[in-house]
Amino acid sequence: MSTEAARITRAGAVATVTLDRPALHNAFDDALIAELTAKLAALDADASVRVVVLAAEGRSFSAGADLNWMRRMAGYSDAENLADARGLAELMRTLDRMSRPTIARVQGSAFGGGVGLVACCDIAVAVPDAKFALTEVRLGLIPAVISPYVVQAIGMRAARRFFLTAERFDAAEAHRLGLVHAVVPAAELDATVASIADALLAGGPQAQAASKALITAVGDRPIDAVVIEDTARRIARQRAGAEGRDGVAAFLDKRPPAWTA
């Protein structure tokens, strides 16, 4: 039996990373955090990977922090506590900044840091029965390292409510808030994820990476001369690159672009 807490499977250019601690509701500890961070970084460095799906085994997507890990943390020194927190922050940063498009396949509930994983993915699809909650204040804690991504996903106004109340909300509310992009029956979850992956495979990989960087560059910034000049330079670079030239030529010649081969 595999001892991996996060296993990778491949279907062509689509890599699926599956959290595999179903008995613990895929809660994470320091070992899983380190393993998942390393595997995501390796996939992002693999040119044969075009799309990364984050999935989970069992009833829950992720319950957040493992209780045994939390008990250990209670005895940590200040330096150990900070190093531990930085590890989780690095996981979220790694997932958020992947150059490959990412899809969260949310087959069950996500709490605490599990919500952070969903928010860090580019696209999220959930089943109707999935529940979500930012439960940290119930433990006297705060959702600190996941907050930039969750607030970006659901907005400050919703964060004021759910960070403070720790209320559970359902998949329909998660969709309304923008945390997930689609809610589909469990029987349709895999087909929906596969359809989104196919749509992603039709796009230029360099253009997708550049688009992700573009969103980060222009998001929540005033549309001033600096931003306008930056966007002009970005499209000029993309047009002049091999992928941009081939994509335009393929469209005009009515042929598939090279990246779909």
CATH number at residue 229: 1.10.12.10
In a domain, 1, yes or no: no
Within-domain flag for 96: yes
Give residue 76's pLDDT.
83
pLDDT tens, position by position, for the chain (261 residues)? 346 899 999 999 999 999 999 999 999 999 999 999 999 999 999 999 999 999 999 999 999 888 888 888 778 888 988 998 899 999 999 999 999 999 999 999 999 999 999 999 999 999 999 999 999 999 999 999 999 999 999 999 999 999 999 999 999 999 999 999 999 999 999 999 999 999 999 999 999 999 999 999 999 899 999 999 999 999 999 999 999 999 999 999 999 999 997
Place of tokens 């809610």: 183
pLDDT at position 168 is 97
Shared domain for 17 and 107, answered yes or no, is yes
pLDDT of residue 1: 36
Range of the domain at 226: 205-260
pLDDT at 68: 82
Same domain, 186 and 242: no
Query: Measured on CA atoms in the order 65, 66, 67, 69, is the torsion positive or negative?
Result: negative
Number of domains the chain contains: 2
Is the domain of 70 the same as that of 158? yes
Tell whether 78 and 106 lie within a shared domain: yes
144 lies in the same domain as 244: no
pTM over 0.85: yes
Contact 34, 87 (CB under 8 A): yes
Q: Are residues 13 and 136 in the same domain?
A: yes
Output the DSSP codes for 10-39: EETTEEEEEE--GGGTT-B-HHHHHHHHHH
